[in-house]
Amino acid sequence: MTSSLAGATQEEVRRHNLGRLLRILHLGGPVSRADITRLTGLNRSTVGALTTDLARAGLAVERDPVGRGVGRPSIMVTPHESGAFALAFDLRVERTIAAVVSLGGAVASRREARHTNRDPDPEAVFRQLERLTAELLADAPAGAVCLGVGLAIPGVVRHSDGLVRFAPNMGWVDVPVAAMLEARIPGAGPIVVGNDADMGAIAEHLRGVGRGSANMVFLAGQVGVGGGIILDGRLMVGAGGYGGEVGHMVVNPGGRRCRCGRRGCWETEIGEEAVVRALGGQPGDPVDALLAEVPSAAEAGRLGEIGRWLGIGVGNLVNVFNPDVVVCGGLLSKLLPLVADQVRDELEAALTAPREQVRLALPGMDRDAALIGAAESVFAPLLDDPIGCVERVRERAA
Amino acid sequence: MTSSLAGATQEEVRRHNLGRLLRILHLGGPVSRADITRLTGLNRSTVGALTTDLARAGLAVERDPVGRGVGRPSIMVTPHESGAFALAFDLRVERTIAAVVSLGGAVASRREARHTNRDPDPEAVFRQLERLTAELLADAPAGAVCLGVGLAIPGVVRHSDGLVRFAPNMGWVDVPVAAMLEARIPGAGPIVVGNDADMGAIAEHLRGVGRGSANMVFLAGQVGVGGGIILDGRLMVGAGGYGGEVGHMVVNPGGRRCRCGRRGCWETEIGEEAVVRALGGQPGDPVDALLAEVPSAAEAGRLGEIGRWLGIGVGNLVNVFNPDVVVCGGLLSKLLPLVADQVRDELEAALTAPREQVRLALPGMDRDAALIGAAESVFAPLLDDPIGCVERVRERAA
């Protein structure tokens, strides 16, 4: 008994340590072997063996250090950016963004295409997506390994099979997005389809303003308001993958009818339509242009009610989740600076204990958060088991 | 490198397997070695070695099976109920319940004492608690190991040190409950202080109606409405331990002032005071007696509004958490059968995808859920590392 179990777990330890090292490289960039030793607590010879393994697998590059220091200089280890990549898609209401995201997290190349009409036909979107992918792959470095496909969409996604149950602002109901991707881009590897706010939350948690915060609420507001929740360092998924629909908390039962059918959901009070209305615009007017005309918080009186609703909802989330940080993304990132006072006043009324622990923040990533999060969903299994993951990719390709 | 790591992890594997076995015994009761083999996938000789280890540590009892079957009968393994126990306290608004909970989860003995007045003085409560404990320990089996102390309280508890930040219905603010317990009951082992709804959630998840549900919302309503949230099999804690205060979601901003200071929190609409008011009672009237007079759902028209608010709030939680099950505990367990129609109507309006996955349930445990959950918080480290935990207890006692 003992030897076989011990054998299995020795391999597990190696796998675990390879993952830790690759995670350091992937999220932190180039680092010396000496720093890895310090960061991990592993001894020098172990670190040397592990980085050599990563280099052999095509995931890291080892280089003699440039310049002279005191003592023997330590070898620099770099993520092998042209060694492996993820295909990432950010499906938005009005357009599709496609990118090759390299190991290390950089966007190596990207393409965009607008949808030809509102409520776009899924088949047309996936044809477009196939074309963008062909262009991207033509540019990908020779020999680079495609680890898989990640896609973010503003909708409710079934975790088990990537079925989009409901994407109200695209007019999609029960669209088998993962299956359609598989048909259009066969052989690209595992496919992960996720809600855009969940994907954005992953990106902000790993690389943005949520770095170091184990408990984060990420709000992605535009037409609707989505939420991605990180708890104890992990994305909240729920029973089917539908968790985090904080835009559909009823906060004002006497309010307007929501697209979901209920009355007074949070997104009816702070979403795009509400902002346009508050600024005197007509339905369909471009909210960004209207907001740009609001010169400063002092003159933002017309947004006061919206600020109050933003604060009430954030207060609810603070009481319910006790996060370290609430990140206001998308439209809310433009709104927050204009209504910070109203939000603060409402937030003051949340329970003292969780309120004292929370900060409000603007996103640390640019508008690529969902795209990067989609890529990180593809990188996640690689960071759990680097060598095994690469071997599986090569077997698939053979 | 390899041998020491392998050595460490071989020990880890044994610890892990001992924990798995003890968890089976603790939660499932007596089981044959053959069934353990089947349940765990471990081979027979490994299971034999592990159960012998548990028996030697005083945590399991091995017995020859009674009766004759076909083939060699398998040895029965039982949790050693008088081998180890937790001290569990359920601090309620009007009284304290104290119990010895045995390994295996049975309440071996219990004591209750009413508080002498409302907003009880913490010192008086802990004197009372010390007395109850002395009585309980006098009855405890000789040689049994006290694993620690768990306490449930209707308040907001800081996870790191068991400070009760706010227990509004007891009038407590920043009471160092864990430290006061340590002073009154020294040497009883690690102390875990938790919110009563969190403790109830743990109990329902492990032993009640939430068994088998990895994602559960447990509502504990009486004066206020607390929530304990299980996500992916684990209690949601949040940054400081304050997560799950679902009673303080604003659902009706035009509503009544809440004890927390905000207006229209969910608990102002469905808590005890609201129910008493709806039934024509005066503040302070006993809600249970009033509810007992409501003969059936058909005549429960006066509760219709409360049912609607219950449904709106549950709908919010379904959209936000995507649980398998929402358990209505405490006062809500009496309310739900009377307003099931209204709740169902409101819940119909939640998002389709999460709504299809959720069931509403009454608690599976009796009113001891918080007490049992407090005990399970003490058993948790034992189930992670049975032998190590027992050794630490014996060292402490020596």
Residue A160 pLDDT greater than 70, yes or no: yes
b/e burial code for range A239-270 (CB count within 10 A of at least 16 → b)? bbbbbbbbbbbbbbbebeebbbebbbbbbbbb
Q: Which residues of A touch B9 (CB under 8 A)?
A: 6, 9-10, 12-13
- Spell out which residues of chain B touch residue A241, defining contact as CB-CB under 8 Å: 322
**Interchain contact, B158 vs A315, CB within 8 Å:** no
Residue B94 Cα, gap to closest chain A Cα (Å): 23
Contact residues on chain A for B214, CB-CB shorter than 8 A: 239
Q: Is the pLDDT of residue B3 over 50?
A: no
Chain B interface, mutation test: which of A322, A326, A357, most B Cβ atoms within 10 Å?
A322
pLDDT surpassing 60 at residue B298: no
Q: What is the pLDDT of residue A172?
A: 94
pLDDT of residue B118: 80
- Judged by CB atoms closer than 8 Å, whether chains meet at B46 and A1 is answered as yes
Give contacts of A158 with chain B, Cβ < 8 Å: 353
How close does chain B come to A15, measured CA to CA in Å? 13
Residue A368's pLDDT band (boundaries 50, 70, 90)? very high
Nearest CA in chain A to B252: A252
Could you give the domains of chain B?
2-79 (1.10.10.10), 84-199+368-397 (3.30.420.40), 211-361 (3.30.420.40)
Confidence of residue B211 (pLDDT cuts 50, 70, 90): very high
Better pLDDT: B394 or A237:
A237
Q: What pLDDT was estimated at residue A341?
A: 93
Which of A238, A250, A260 is facing B215, going by the closest CB pair?
A: A238
Give the separation between CA B111 and CA B371, rounded to whole angstroms: 12
Residue A225 with chain B: CB contacts under 8 Å: none
Query: Would you call B322 helix, strand, or coil by DSSP?
Result: coil
Mean pLDDT of B346-369: 94
pLDDT over 70 (residue A7)? no
Work out the minimum CA distance from A256 to partner chain B, whole angstroms.
Answer: 14
Is B45 within 8 Å of A1 when comparing Cβ atoms? yes
Flag whether pLDDT at B292 surpasses 90: no
CB contact under 8 A, A315 and B232: no
Tell whether the model's pLDDT for residue B219 goes beyond 70.
yes
The model's confidence at residue B300, banded by pLDDT at 50, 70 and 90, is: low
Tell which wins on pLDDT, B294 or B49: B49
- pLDDT of B71 reads 67
Closest alpha carbon within chain B to A49: B1
The DSSP secondary structure of A170-184, one letter per residue, reads TTEEEE-HHHHHHHH
Partners of A260 on chain B (C-beta within 8 Å) are: 349, 351
Q: How far is B23 from chain A (nearest CA, A)?
A: 21
pLDDT of residue A367: 84
| Shortest alpha-carbon distance between residue B250 and chain A (Å) | 6
Torsion of CA B8, B12, B13, B17, to 10 degrees: 160
Q: Which two tokens stand for residue B85?
A: 């126990």
Whether residue B204 has pLDDT greater than 90: yes
Q: What is the pLDDT of residues B100-142, one digit of tens each?
A: 999 999 999 999 999 988 889 999 999 999 999 999 999 888 8
Q: Which one of B250, B351, B358 has the shortest CB-CB distance to A166?
A: B351
For residues B338 and B298, the answer to whether their CB atoms sit within 8 Å is no
What confidence score (pLDDT) does residue B4 get?
38
Query: What is d(CA B159, CA A14) in angstroms, rounded to the nearest whole number?
Result: 34
% residues pLDDT > 90 (chain A) = 80
Residue A70 pLDDT grade (very low, low, confident, very high; cuts 50, 70, 90): low
Of A1, A2, A165, the CB nearest to B352: A165
What local confidence, expressed as pLDDT, does residue B29 receive? 96
Q: Residues of chain B with pLDDT > 90: what percent?
A: 80
* Residue among B250, B319, B354 minimizing CB distance to A240: B354
Contacts of A90 (CB under 8 A, 6+ apart): A96, A97, A98, A99, A151, A152, A196, A199, A368, A370, A371, A374
> Among A250, A252, A349, whose Cβ lies nearest the Cβ of B316?
A250
Please write the tens of the pLDDT for every residue from A334-351: 999 999 999 999 999 999
Distance from CA of B262 to the nearest CA of A (A): 6
Residues of B in contact with A253 (CB under 8 A): 251-252, 312
Mutate to test the interface with A, among B12, B322, B343, B357 (most CBs of A within 10 A): B322
Angle at B235 between CA B213 and CA B362, to 5 degrees: 45
pLDDT one-digit tens code per residue, B50-87: 999 999 999 999 998 766 666 667 899 999 999 999 99
Confidence of residue A67 (pLDDT cuts 50, 70, 90): low
Q: Are strands B31-32 and A359-361 parallel, antiparallel or unpaired?
A: unpaired
Q: Which of A321, A343, A356 to mutate to test the interface with B (most CBs of B within 10 A)?
A: A321
User: Which of A317, A320, A357, A359 would best serve as a mutation to test chain B binding (most B beta carbons within 10 A)?
Assistant: A320
Q: How far is B97 from chain A (nearest CA, A)?
A: 26
Reported ipTM: the value is: 0.92
Give the mean pLDDT of A312-329: 97
pLDDT (0 to 100) of residue B6: 42
- How far away is chain B from the Cα of A373, in angstroms, using its nearest Cα? 20
Confidence of residue B254 (pLDDT cuts 50, 70, 90): very high
Residue of B nearest to A11 (CA): B6
**Beta-carbon neighbour count of residue A279 at 10 Å?**
18
What's the pLDDT at B169? 83
Predicted confidence at residue A2, as pLDDT, reads 35
Decide if B330 contacts B92 (C-beta within 8 A): no
Beta bridge partners of B85: B102, B146
Owner of token pair 């088991």: A385
Asked if residues A45 and A30 have their Cβ atoms less than 8 Å apart, the reply is no
pLDDT exceeds cutoff 60 at B2: no
Q: Is B239 within 8 Å of A322 (Cβ atoms)? A: yes
Instruction: Please state which of the ranges A159-173, B222-236, B238-252, B286-300 shows the lowest mean pLDDT.
Output: B286-300
pLDDT on residue A139 = 87
Minimal-distance CA residue of chain B relative to A159: B353
**A117 Cβ contact partners less than 8 Å away, ≥ 6 residues apart:** none
